[in-house]
């Protein structure tokens, strides 16, 4: 089934009509407006894309619709919310409980945080059916199994009894959708449902939502910062910034002729824009005959125990299986693949953070297995890592200046008296104001924290930086800034960059060479422009096909699985 390329006509009165919604927060200095006269409509069977950066008010608007304020200090102070003509703004808790789930369902960005870890998935689905539809336990279980089949569970009777931790990220998201659908809602709010998923799983979840829209005449509010997702799934787009709707309209109108400057910035920041083409054609690094690889990996295997006991043979899972690879000084290498393909395990083994089960990793000629002390000493002083979660990777009790000073003190590459000056230089390098030296991570945005994480990596004066999914949690405009920063650092500091991501357009724009991993093995590698233009492997072609494109007339990938 190909996705529709033209928006359906919505001529009936809107199912949901929000008018001049105002939400404020009580602060010591007085009430502050968080949502400022927000108005949107959602028709029956329509998919509305709600886009904007973190902090724009997207999630708060969705929570306000069902009365789930994140704090008691946050209040709805004005406006109207009409659900099929019924005013629900200011409704009491009893009325809201009848609406939540039964009429408006909600799925969240991180299903692990919203699924009960000690309750079987099937029982969580049944719970909503029994509560809202007043069915018997047996009837509810039968309906739950049917819903599990609808959302793509391959063996509902067996998976009914499984727990959340036994599923992949994509299957946990399917479980969240099943729980939301169990109450048979009229509107489904999907708050960043695919942000943490790789491109193929993302495509599966988006197809699932579109199929459910058709089968159930379901209205969907899709909250996202990825314009590629809204271009290929939504009928209309509403753009939010600083608690206001800055632009709304049919998706082609918004994407091809945006009126608001902020919308133009969002569109120009999307990594699939043509500006990439000139970046992708950069010449490969020239290597003199006497230059050796900075990192050399030979037949590397990393295995983790998965079971077995005293009287049974211990079993192992191969996260990395027979990988051989060379990374040269000054190179920018992208490593891509689906979740579980072995990307992060390879990165950790590369830096000596995860021990190899077989094979060799050599850094600057020193083998981690044969000359471990020498190799680790070199790695600790010349290799650094930037992590996915910018908040959790920084010490919340230390200021940014203290964090950087600690690294500089341990490295002992500069005199102690020069550390404050070097901290200022590092903040300049990552384009943070020097006043950030006195701030703690909780007072900073995700992008600012990630810049601080890059500054910490630069503090050791590294020859190589390994960036592991370091932009996955950031908005598209902030992603573009971080990628531009890496590009500048590589160009000016003789730096080697290993960039691990499931966001293929970013890798295409940033990296000279790309390595594609699948089931712990390298299945394809080559110059980025060659691999993306003419992939040799079907798996690579499937990854590329699954990238949501900002062109609203390009159909969403139909490929749901890549073996």
Packing angle, helices 169-181 and 137-150, rounded to 10: 130
Q: From the CA atom positions of the chain, what is the Rg in Å?
A: 25
Percent of the chain with pLDDT over 70: 90
Task: Give the mean pLDDT of 205-232.
Answer: 86
The tokens for 300 are: 């590397």
d(CA 386, CA 211): 38
pLDDT attached to residue 207: 86
Packing angle, helices 538-545 and 199-216, rounded to 10: 50
Residue 463: half-sphere exposure toward Cβ, Cα within 13 Å = 14
Task: Give the mean pLDDT of 164-190.
Answer: 84
Examine residue 48 and state whether it is found in any structural domain, yes or no.
no
Provide the domain count of the chain.
2
Shared domain check, 298 and 162? no
Shared domain check, 514 and 367? yes
Neighbours of 113 (CB within 10 A): 8
Does the pLDDT at position 297 exceed 90? yes
pLDDT attached to residue 287: 64
Higher pLDDT, 389 or 188: 188
Give me the residues paired with residue 300 across strands: 323
pLDDT attached to residue 310: 58
Examine residue 257 and state whether it is found in any structural domain, yes or no.
no
| Closest alpha carbon to 217 in 243, 249, 185 | 185
Does the pLDDT at position 312 exceed 80? no
pLDDT attached to residue 336: 92
Shared domain check, 323 and 179? no
Shared domain check, 463 and 325? yes
Strands 16-27 and 332-336 come out as: unpaired
Does the pLDDT at position 289 exceed 80? no
Shared domain check, 324 and 178? no
Question: Burial, 112: exposed, middle or buried (Cβ in 10 Å; 0-12, 13-18, 19+)?
Answer: middle
The tokens for 319 are: 């996260």
Examine residue 194 and state whether it is found in any structural domain, yes or no.
no
What residues have CB less than 8 Å from 239, skipping those under 6 apart?
51, 52, 245, 246, 247, 248, 254, 260, 262, 263, 266
Q: Where are the alpha helices (DSSP H) in 395-551?
A: 400-411, 419-429, 446-458, 476-493, 504-510, 528-533, 538-545
Q: What are phi and psi of 196, to 5 degrees?
A: -90, 5
- The CATH number assigned to the domain holding 518 equals 3.40.50.300
pLDDT digits (tens, 9 = 90+) for 525-536: 999 989 998 999
Q: How would residue 9 be classed by pLDDT, with cut points 50, 70 and 90? A: low
pLDDT attached to residue 338: 82
Examine residue 143 and state whether it is found in any structural domain, yes or no.
yes
Looking up tokens 């490929």 gives 559
Q: Which of 184, 211, 228 is the last residue of a domain?
A: 184
User: Are residues 478 and 429 in contact, defined by beta-carbon separation less than 8 angstroms?
Assistant: no
Examine residue 504 and state whether it is found in any structural domain, yes or no.
yes
Q: Give me the chain's average pLDDT, please.
A: 85
Q: Which range has the top average pLDDT, 277-281, 316-320, 327-331?
A: 327-331
Shared domain check, 336 and 453? yes
pLDDT attached to residue 82: 94
User: Are residues 419 and 409 in contact, defined by beta-carbon separation less than 8 angstroms?
Assistant: yes
Higher pLDDT, 226 or 526: 526
Shared domain check, 299 and 154? no
| Closest alpha carbon to 153 in 170, 134, 136, 133 | 170
pLDDT attached to residue 8: 55
pLDDT attached to residue 326: 93
The tokens for 142 are: 């039968």
d(CA 29, CA 256): 42
Does the pLDDT at position 562 exceed 60? no
Does the pLDDT at position 199 exceed 90? no
pLDDT attached to residue 22: 94
Does the pLDDT at position 462 exceed 70? yes
Strands (DSSP E) found in 43-186: 47-51, 74-83, 86-87, 104-107
User: Are residues 23 and 35 in contact, defined by beta-carbon separation less than 8 angstroms?
Assistant: yes
pLDDT digits (tens, 9 = 90+) for 484-513: 899 999 988 889 999 998 778 889 889 999
DSSP one-letter string for 19-76: EEEEEEEEETTEEEEEEEEEEEEE-TT-EEEEE--TTSSHHHHHHHHTT--SSTTEEE
d(CA 238, CA 220): 13
pLDDT digits (tens, 9 = 90+) for 394-406: 998 999 999 999 9
Residues spanned by the domain of 159: 115-184
The tokens for 249 are: 């309209």
Examine residue 529 and state whether it is found in any structural domain, yes or no.
yes
pLDDT attached to residue 142: 93
pLDDT attached to residue 48: 95
pTM of the entire predicted model: 0.75
pLDDT attached to residue 238: 95
pLDDT attached to residue 458: 93
Shared domain check, 298 and 165? no
Higher pLDDT, 125 or 9: 125
Examine residue 195 and state whether it is found in any structural domain, yes or no.
no
Percent of the chain with pLDDT over 90: 39
What residues have CB less than 8 Å from 19, skipping those under 6 apart?
39, 79, 80, 81, 82
User: Are residues 251 and 49 in contact, defined by beta-carbon separation less than 8 angstroms?
Assistant: yes
The tokens for 296 are: 């050399």
Q: How would residue 378 be classed by pLDDT, with cut points 50, 70 and 90? A: confident
User: Which uninterrupted H or E stretch holds 126?
Assistant: helix 121-133
Does the pLDDT at position 4 exceed 50? no
Does the pLDDT at position 283 exceed 60? no
d(CA 204, CA 372): 43
Burial readout 468-506 (b: 16 or more C-beta within 10 A, e: otherwise): bbbbbbbbbbbbbbbbebbeebbeeeebbbbbbbbbbbb
Dmax of the chain from CA atoms? Answer: 76
Examine residue 69 and state whether it is found in any structural domain, yes or no.
no
């Amino acid at each position: 089934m190909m996705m529709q390329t033209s928006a359906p006509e919505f001529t009936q009165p809107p199912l949901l009509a929000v008018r001049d919604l105002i939400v404020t927060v009580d602060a010591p200095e007085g009430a502050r407006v968080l949502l400022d006269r927000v108005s949107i409509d959602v028709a029956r069977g329509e998919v509305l894309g709600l886009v904007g950066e973190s902090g724009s008010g997207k999630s708060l608007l969705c929570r306000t619709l069902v009365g789930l304020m994140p704090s008691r200090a946050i209040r709805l102070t004005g406006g109207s919310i009409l659900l099929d003509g019924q005013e629900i703004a200011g409704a009491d808790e009893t009325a809201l409980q009848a609406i939540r789930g039964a009429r408006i369902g909600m799925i969240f960005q991180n299903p692990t945080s919203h699924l009960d870890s000690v309750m079987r998935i099937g029982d969580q689905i049944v719970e909503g059916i029994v509560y809202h539809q007043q069915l018997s336990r047996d009837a509810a279980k039968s309906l739950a199994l049917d819903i599990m089949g609808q959302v793509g569970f391959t063996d509902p009777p067996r998976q009914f009894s499984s727990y959340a931790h036994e599923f992949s990220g994509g299957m946990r998201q399917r479980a969240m959708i099943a729980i939301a659908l169990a109450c048979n809602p009229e509107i489904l709010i999907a708050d960043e449902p695919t942000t943490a998923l790789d491109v193929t799983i993302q495509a599966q979840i988006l197809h699932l939502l579109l199929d459910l829209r058709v089968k159930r005449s379901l209205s969907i509010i899709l909250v996202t910062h990825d314009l590629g997702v809204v271009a290929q799934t939504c009928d209309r787009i509403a753009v939010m910034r600083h608690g206001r709707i800055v632009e709304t309209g049919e998706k082609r109108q918004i994407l091809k002729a945006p009126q608001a400057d902020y919308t133009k910035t969002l569109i120009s920041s999307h990594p699939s824009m043509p500006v990439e083409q000139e970046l992708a054609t950069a010449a490969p690094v020239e290597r003199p005959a006497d230059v050796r690889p900075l990192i050399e990996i030979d037949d590397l295997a990393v295995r983790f125990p998965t079971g077995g006991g005293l009287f049974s043979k211990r079993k192992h899972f191969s996260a990395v299986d027979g990988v051989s690879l060379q990374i040269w000084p000054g190179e920018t290498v992208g490593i891509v693949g689906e979740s579980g393909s072995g990307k992060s395990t390879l990165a950790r083994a590369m830096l000596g953070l995860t021990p190899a089960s077989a094979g060799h990793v050599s850094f600057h000629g020193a083998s981690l297995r044969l000359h471990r002390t020498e190799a680790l000493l070199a790695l600790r002083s010349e290799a650094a890592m930037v992590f996915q979660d910018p908040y959790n990777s920084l010490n919340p009790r230390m200021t940014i200046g203290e964090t950087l000073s600690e690294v500089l003190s341990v490295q002992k590459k500069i005199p102690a008296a020069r550390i404050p000056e070097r901290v200022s230089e590092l903040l300049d390098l990552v384009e943070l104001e020097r006043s950030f030296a006195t701030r703690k991570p909780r007072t900073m945005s995700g992008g600012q924290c990630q810049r601080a994480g890059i500054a910490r990596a630069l503090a050791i004066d590294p020859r190589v930086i390994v960036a592991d999914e370091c932009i996955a949690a950031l908005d598209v405009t902030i992603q573009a800034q971080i990628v531009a920063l890496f590009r500048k650092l590589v160009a000016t500091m003789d730096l080697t960059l290993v960039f691990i991501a499931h966001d293929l357009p970013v890798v295409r724009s940033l990296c000279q060479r790309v390595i594609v991993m699948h089931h712990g093995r390298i299945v394809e590698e080559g110059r980025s422009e060659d691999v993306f233009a003419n992939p040799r492997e079907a798996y690579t072609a499937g990854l590329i096909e699954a990238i949501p494109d900002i062109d609203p007339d390009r159909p969403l990938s139909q490929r749901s699985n890549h073996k």
